[in-house]
Amino acid sequence: MTNAAGLLVARLGSGTLAMRLDAASPGVADGVAYVRSAVPDAVAHFGLTEGEIAEKLVAKLGVRAAPAPGR
């Protein structure tokens, strides 16, 4: 998920971290496709749907956007 979140930031720019991305947005769909192709065995093992991957990816973007503790 971290790599997919980084991919979205790289493709859409650092402003992505300030955006509210919907799990159905085209950028998130690209991230989902990346996860499915990069780790298909893990996706199958955990039985993740595209919607579940999208939710986790959007959440990971939120983590990346959050300020570091103590700042």
Q: How many domains does the chain fold into?
A: 1
Residue 31 covered by a domain: yes
Residue 44's domain spans which residues? Answer: 2-65
Residue 70 covered by a domain: no
Residues of the chain with pLDDT below 50 are none
Residue 45 covered by a domain: yes
Residue 71 covered by a domain: no
Residue 29 covered by a domain: yes
pLDDT at 64: 60
DSSP for 33-66, please give it: HHHHHH-HHHHHHHT--HHHHHHHHHHHHHHHHS
